[in-house]
Structure 1
Amino acid sequence: MFRTAFLPCFVSLVQLCAQPAPLPRSLRNGGFQEAGPGGVPAGWRVNAPGGVVARREAGAGLDRPSVVIRLGEGADKDARPNLAQALDARPFRGKRVRLTALLQREGGGTGTGHLWLRVDRPGGAKGFFDGMRDRPVTATAWTAAEIVGDVAPDAERIVVGAWLLGGGGSLGLAQVSLETLGDTPVPEAPRPLGPRGLRNLVAFARAYGYVRFFHPADAAEAAPWDEVARAGVRAAEGAADDADLARRLRAILGPYAPMARFLEPGQRPQPLPRPREAAQVVQWRHYGVGLSRKSVYSSTRTYTPLARKGRPGAEPVAAPCFDLGGGVRLQLPLGCYADRHRRTLPRTGPAPAPPGILPEPTWPVPAAGNAEDRATRLGAVVEVWNVIQHFYPNFDWTQVDWPAQLPRVLAQVAESPSPEAYLRSVRTLMASLQDAHGYVSPLWREVEAGPGLSLAWVGSDLAVCGVAEDLKATVHAGDVLVAVDGVPTARAVAELAPTLPASSTQGLRYLEATGLLQGPAGSVELTLRGEDGAMRTVRVQRPFRQTVPREPRPAGACVELRPGVWYVDLARLTRETVESTLQAIGGARALVLDMRGYPSFGAWQKLFAHFTDAPLQTPPFLVPVITRPDRGDLTFQREGWSIQPEAPKLEARRFFLVDARAISQAELLMDFVEHYKLGEILGEATAGVDGNVNPFLAGGLRIAWTGMKVPKHDGTPLAGVGILPTLPVARTLEGLRAGRDEVLDRALDLALGAAGPAGAGR
């Protein structure tokens, strides 16, 4: 999405960099040694209007020249001052390239620095583009920036540059380099795993997780772990026997764990030597686990001085053995000795790059890209399985046999015939976790489209419950879906269900209803049974658009339904509207609060502050603190916050509407309602999950999962249960056909029966 949206920004640069003379076949003057007219380095150009570039001699912490990029006087504040250079792409065709530079934000302001690299193909066809939108440089010190991308076989031009995006200030740029890393890798074709190969990959997967997450050597901390995963599955799969497997594991993982020993059958563990320079012990401490910069979770190495001459301190490093399967064990120190400068021992040089593996592109290409490659897919399974194995906090609630999933999904992915089959296999892996946050999204294509219809289960029927205006002539609320593209609904749902991340039965039914009609943009044929029992077939388009509401809601987010009875849609309440809402409902005798959706953080807390005269404390947010593999010695750090009461307290009776659309933060809101008895709960159970997600990327996929344990206020599990209604209300086909919101109708009946301000209790 980003690369398409930002391409128009560079149309002027394409024209600017087009020259009648032949384009250079390599980057010219990347070190800015050659001056040019007007202060612009030779070989480079500035986009107009508003961009100013000045060349500077060595200094300010650099031993080479640099340039500064800024807006000129009177320039539009939204302009993007740019320094760019175009190259002939022919020498780079079919190659993977890397653009590097040093960037430094200067001169105040809040502008951010970005490198960018674009590959132009004939006729305006899309090539690689990355503008570092996801990782801007904001530091005032010189910072290394990098872009890795593939040059298409038909590429005509490569355009590289740096720009200052928004907020003013200046951008320093130095030491620009474009290098060829090698031929663009040819994807490895799928093929089945033999029994020995499967055992080998299971052993590698376990060893990979132990070394990556629990061995704190400097080399392991800095390793390119996605590349190690791909190289490791290629190296390990072909091991002929246990001894060969141990040798291969040692070759791929040993550079990152020099004290590790891969034990063949019959070999015994050995005591771990203590280097003379040892002054302290370093260990990993995972607060959740740090997988991205934009996360509440983190992973840090902790340093403890060794105990000496009676002084307390760290004990000698232990090196337990782990059974990897495949006849091999791993003796791995879970700590490392370090010298007084915090360098881990034994000191080694930088670990070599995994053999035959190039860095991945820094931004996904339009096609399936790395998801086409068998080793990349298998490496992604290794990464995903290990993250969940060591850090998922809710296994005691779900009782999932996670170890059994590893060989099953490795075998599936090894012979997946397409990226979509690979995606399905990883989705089934995450769905087996029973985590409603466990979504798997492909980076190689757009989000799936919907046809402007909403479905809901009504008993055993999957019925239409919402229709876009342009479809109301052919599809009606209350129609029952009989088939999709000729496939009976029951069979279509059975094929979809194993890929859906759900924590509860009600959550699964909701995902079945919302996901069944999703797919690529185009058309879909629906077989429907109408109110009269007659069957008909309609073809509807699947454009990219928002989901149609599942019931006819009041027109506004805050509406007086009857005198003294007010409706508030908590999914539409915002920080900007909460004050006016409070003023409107101040004299209400009953409130109907709709939580069939997702709330805005900060808005509902402000509202709830007027529902109480005592603080409302969250349930415990339990962040796992992990220092040993396989969740050994697992402890939790308790977090939370409270809502302080505010005057005036609203004494209106309250009726909350819920169903499985209420998930995560919405369920936290409803847990307040349930625990503190803030009102009646009507409708259907919520989805059954809460806690901050901890997303990461692997093998062309974005993986989400719940990184902390959040029980209900009373300590019982929320996962798999949800918040149950005090007054269950279900849809009926009759209600759908009549255009009624039966849950809202029931709440309104109760609200009208509440004579006077009866307080907030049930």
Structure 2
Amino acid sequence: IYSYTWHSISGIHHFKAIATDRSGNSSESSVATLQVNESEEGIEEGIEEGIEEGIGEYDDECDTTTEYVEGEEGVFEGSSEDSYCEEYTATNYKHVSEGRAVACGSFNLYACAIGSDEELGYNNYFTTTTVYESPEGYFSTEQCSKTTKVVSNAVNASACYYVDKEDALMAFAKLMAYVRFYHPSDEVQDIDWDMFATYGVSQIESVKNNLQLKNLFRKMFHPIAPSMEISGTIKSTEIPSDLAIEKQVAWNHYGFGYGYGWQGSEYTLYTNEREYVAPGAGTGDFPSVDYVTDDLGAGITIDMPIVLTAGSKSSVTKNYTTYPEGSPLVLSAVDTSYKNKYARIAGVMEAWGIIQHFYPYFYVTGIDDWSAVLPQYIEEARNATDKVAYAAVLKRMLANLQDGHVFVMYEGMTYTSMPFLTELAEGKVVIRDVMDSVKNELSPGDIIVEVNNEPVEKALVEVEKTLSVAYSKRRHIAPFYLFNYGTVIGETMNVTVEKENGSRINKTYTMNTDNLAVVYTKYETKYDKITELEDGIWYINIDKLTDDDVSEVVDTLQSAKGALLDMRVYPESGAAWSLISYIADGEHTSPPFYIHINNMPDRTATRKEEITQTFPSLTPKIDIPLVLMIEQGTQSAAETQASMFKATGNVTVVGRPTTGANGNITGFFVLGSQEEGGFEVTFTGMEVTGYDGKPHQTIGVTPHIPVEKTIDDVREGRDEIFETALDELKSMINE
């Protein structure tokens, strides 16, 4: 609440702006001193200057948008303003098409006025009615007039001031996510959120002051959340007195699912449902409070119910209705494709809201305020006019999560590569393999020093901004994403390469799909998935095993001296689970897995449900020296399995730390599904820790024996992890 004080000494008036919050705490601006005359105009000029100095820029258009309420709002004692009243005479069909009424009744044959819900008659071209709009957005047949309201005191209880667009959009993003995920009204369930968000963004573009913003939010949110207080105003608290069955209803979020299934699967571990209980019978899954209060910024405060009354007037039905009931929400149709800048901004805001309320790893990321990241990407989204550019904006925003499960996909997305495969060695970008088409000019071990006449490090930094893995691990994979994981066919790069003898060549190369053949060599090994390397020493490629191969592996290793277990990429089956049971000495478990259960916004009351898995011990035991090979390509389920191999105490781990991204994946659509021209986004939906309870995310599984790649390793075609692991295995056998 904003007000002012002033006093006069010899014609010098001293004005001070005062801000008072809901708890009665006040803060004052510095004194603004101005010499004015004793007229009403002079006093008002001082008020404006005091508000501007203490609160923000005073908007000259406020006088035409202020909602004057006697004793609460005004500029100066005795000032006046006409109350809002507009008259419309038209056919009912036109009332509906222009947003003053909605189709209603049986088969939508009738028209009902928005706000009052009055039935106006048949919805056709022939029935003509007159409706009045007062206040703005409320239509009825009750005649209104533009009467003058006179303010009875000199207190400006809702000072009108300029609102920064960034602050307004941030307030909208927060409020939209609050209502979408935690206000349990029936009306909320029917909203097309892409349409809703895009419309809101488009309207905020023309908002100039806090009162216009408040009016916009009331127009958009009160029909679906009528009992939510928006900056002091509630639309309705009416609950029928004749309910035969009465319940309380609130959201219970078991992770974030909303029906999303990874790669089209209908299965999802996560559920998001409204829970109905008898009044006062809420369980641990029910909110501990009925309302949440927040200052959203931009002059907007809310008291939002997160528990509502629900019930039925019939004692035999369980089709409950939530109360107070809302009203039809009528918004102008807007383009929700990525081609519309307002839709692009809306999509970023929706993604931000989902992460804000459901990401389980904020404690690992070091992000204290997720809100602080949004403004940058709103501006980037505004200027990202094609699919590739917009997907990059989403990637950059979500890269702040350091979550290796973040993927952004869209229809028509095609992976491309340069005609050479790269990796990092000794901090340099080194060519590991080449296509036949460039063998005359490039060789394994060549070092890339420049891209487009700039140091290659500059290009790597830009790529790293889109990679959602731990900051410490981005440089290791950045060369691959720069040169071998492109999405634009025909993209060219001018590349400068330094040869082993120090000479340099400079040439332009093109990204295309044919070059992906060189990428596949990254995952090739010299040996079959079950191979005897030397007498009694076996190589087992766990990544390639099928479930049917497990019995053969177990039988083979009964008489073996030792075995190398290769798990450097994602496994193609669940064979590893079984193998661990043959290695572990007894019953064993996975690392701890936790579903986050939320029934209040902003993860303020998160409960954790542990779903750790237990596995039996199987026989015959594999009781020989074993060495497991891992690196950053070991991710997700493979990390769980690597942790379990390591935890048996019977396996030595060699290689490089894994990605550090574990927990069942979940996701959502931005501006529609891929088939609808939108974007599919995934992230980690649950928390997984190490056996010791310490974080796994961003850290991964660390090897007992770390191995780094050298440039000579690349030039000589050595598999440095394999060679180190084999040496260690032989040493163990000979002990």
Q: TM-score, normalised by structure 1?
A: 0.68
Separation in 2, partners of 1:195, 1:268? 19
Distance change in 2, residues 1:300/1:315 (3 Å): closer
CA contact (8 A) 1:285 1:627 kept: yes
Q: What is the match of residue 285 of structure 1?
A: 252
Tell me the amino acid that sits aligned with residue 641 of structure 1. Q
How many corresponding residue pairs? Answer: 548
Which string of whole-angstrom CA distances, capped at 9 and with x for unpartnered residues, describes residues 450-497 of structure 1? Answer: 135332211221112233455544432211112234443111112211
Separation in 2, partners of 1:676, 1:409? 45
Alignment of 1:560-575 (within 5 A): 560-575=532-547
Aligned partner of 1:300 among 250, 273, 293: 273
1:248 aligns with 2:248: no
CA contact (8 A) 2:654 2:725 kept: yes
Distance change in 2, residues 1:249/1:464 (3 Å): same
Separation in 2, partners of 1:646, 1:459? 43
Aligned partner of 1:454 among 418, 421, 436: 421
Deviation at 1:321, TM superposition (A): 1.8
Alignment of 1:442-521 (within 5 A): 443-468=410-435, 471-519=438-486, 520-521=488-489
Aligned partner of 1:669 among 637, 641, 647: 641
Q: What is the match of residue 527 of structure 1?
A: 496
Which string of whole-angstrom CA distances, capped at 9 and with x for unpartnered residues, describes residues 351-398 of structure 1? Answer: 33532236x6xxxxxxxxx22111110110111000010111111121
Tell me the amino acid that sits aligned with residue 282 of structure 1. V
Q: What is the match of residue 139 of structure 2?
A: none
Q: What is the match of residue 388 of structure 2?
A: 420
Tell me the amino acid that sits aligned with residue 691 of structure 1. G
Separation in 2, partners of 1:518, 1:320? 45
Separation in 2, partners of 1:695, 1:627? 19
Distance change in 2, residues 1:558/1:543 (3 Å): farther
1:336 aligns with 2:308: yes
SS at match of 1:518: coil
Tell me the amino acid that sits aligned with residue 650 of structure 2. L
Separation in 2, partners of 1:333, 1:357? 29
Unpaired runs of 5+ residues, structure 1, are 1-193, 361-369
CA contact (8 A) 1:672 1:678 kept: no
SS at match of 1:210: helix
CA contact (8 A) 1:338 1:344 kept: yes
Which string of whole-angstrom CA distances, capped at 9 and with x for unpartnered residues, describes residues 319-343 of structure 1? Answer: 3322111111122110111114443
Distance change in 2, residues 1:674/1:627 (3 Å): same
Deviation at 1:218, TM superposition (A): 0.7
Which range is displaced more, 407-416 or 555-564?
A: 407-416
Which string of whole-angstrom CA distances, capped at 9 and with x for unpartnered residues, describes residues 75-117 of structure 1? Answer: xxxxxxxxxxxxxxxxxxxxxxxxxxxxxxxxxxxxxxxxxxx
Q: What is the match of residue 162 of structure 1?
A: none
Tell me the amino acid that sits aligned with residue 606 of structure 1. S
Separation in 2, partners of 1:457, 1:751? 26
Which range is displaced more, 575-584 or 212-221?
A: 575-584
Deviation at 1:674, TM superposition (A): 2.7
Q: What is the match of residue 63 of structure 1?
A: none
CA contact (8 A) 2:185 2:323 kept: no
Deviation at 1:215, TM superposition (A): 0.5
Which range is displaced more, 672-681 or 690-699?
A: 672-681
Q: What is the match of residue 721 of structure 1?
A: 699
1:211 aligns with 2:167: no
Tell me the amino acid that sits aligned with residue 199 of structure 2. A
Q: What is the match of residue 373 of structure 2?
A: 405
Separation in 1, partners of 2:417, 2:234? 58
CA contact (8 A) 1:218 1:343 kept: no
Distance change in 2, residues 1:316/1:506 (3 Å): closer
Separation in 2, partners of 1:320, 1:487? 52
1:384 aligns with 2:351: yes
Deviation at 1:744, TM superposition (A): 0.5
Separation in 1, partners of 2:287, 2:417? 59
CA contact (8 A) 1:559 1:568 kept: yes
Q: What is the match of residue 95 of structure 2?
A: none
1:711 aligns with 2:684: no
1:642 aligns with 2:611: no
Tell me the amino acid that sits aligned with residue 228 of structure 1. F
Separation in 1, partners of 2:350, 2:685? 16
Deviation at 1:425, TM superposition (A): 2.1
Q: What is the match of residue 107 of structure 1?
A: none
Alignment of 1:3-22 (within 5 A): none
The runs of at least 4 consecutive aligned structure 1 residues that moved more than 6 Å come to 268-271, 311-317
Distance change in 2, residues 1:469/1:568 (3 Å): farther
Deviation at 1:417, TM superposition (A): 4.6
Q: What is the match of residue 430 of structure 1?
A: 398
CA contact (8 A) 1:402 1:433 kept: no
CA contact (8 A) 1:230 1:375 kept: yes
CA contact (8 A) 1:481 1:489 kept: yes
Tell me the amino acid that sits aligned with residue 304 of structure 2. L
Deviation at 1:603, TM superposition (A): 1.2
Q: What is the match of residue 49 of structure 1?
A: none
Tell me the amino acid that sits aligned with residue 726 of structure 1. H
Deviation at 1:679, TM superposition (A): 1.2
CA contact (8 A) 2:580 2:644 kept: no
Over the aligned positions, Cα root-mean-square deviation in angstroms equals: 2.8
Tell me the amino acid that sits aligned with residue 697 of structure 2. A
Tell me the amino acid that sits aligned with residue 346 of structure 1. Y
CA contact (8 A) 1:507 1:686 kept: no
Q: What is the match of residue 146 of structure 1?
A: none
Tell me the amino acid that sits aligned with residue 529 of structure 1. E
Deviation at 1:526, TM superposition (A): 3.1
Q: What is the match of residue 118 of structure 1?
A: none
SS at match of 2:443: coil
1:682 aligns with 2:654: yes
Identity across the alignment (%): 25
CA contact (8 A) 1:371 1:377 kept: yes
Separation in 1, partners of 2:285, 2:581? 48
CA contact (8 A) 1:281 1:317 kept: no
Distance change in 2, residues 1:615/1:380 (3 Å): same
Larger Rg computed on CA atoms: 2
Which range is displaced more, 743-752 or 409-418?
A: 409-418
Separation in 2, partners of 1:280, 1:551? 57
Distance change in 2, residues 1:570/1:243 (3 Å): same
1:746 aligns with 2:714: no
Separation in 1, partners of 2:417, 2:290? 55
Tell me the amino acid that sits aligned with residue 379 of structure 1. A
Deviation at 1:634, TM superposition (A): 0.7
Q: What is the match of residue 352 of structure 1?
A: 329
Which string of whole-angstrom CA distances, capped at 9 and with x for unpartnered residues, describes residues 730-757 of structure 1? Answer: 111112111111111111112222336x
Which string of whole-angstrom CA distances, capped at 9 and with x for unpartnered residues, describes residues 433-466 of structure 1? Answer: 111112222x253223113533221122111223
Distance change in 2, residues 1:270/1:537 (3 Å): closer
Distance change in 2, residues 1:504/1:665 (3 Å): farther
Q: What is the match of residue 61 of structure 1?
A: none
Tell me the amino acid that sits aligned with residue 488 of structure 1. P
Distance change in 2, residues 1:415/1:537 (3 Å): closer
Q: TM-score, normalised by structure 2?
A: 0.70
Aligned partner of 1:628 among 597, 600, 608: 600
Which range is displaced more, 221-230 or 347-356?
A: 347-356
Which range is displaced more, 342-351 or 276-285?
A: 342-351
Unpaired runs of 5+ residues, structure 2, are 1-161, 262-267, 313-317, 672-677
CA contact (8 A) 2:230 2:302 kept: yes
Which range is displaced more, 733-742 or 485-494?
A: 485-494
Tell me the amino acid that sits aligned with residue 306 of structure 2. L
CA contact (8 A) 1:336 1:344 kept: no
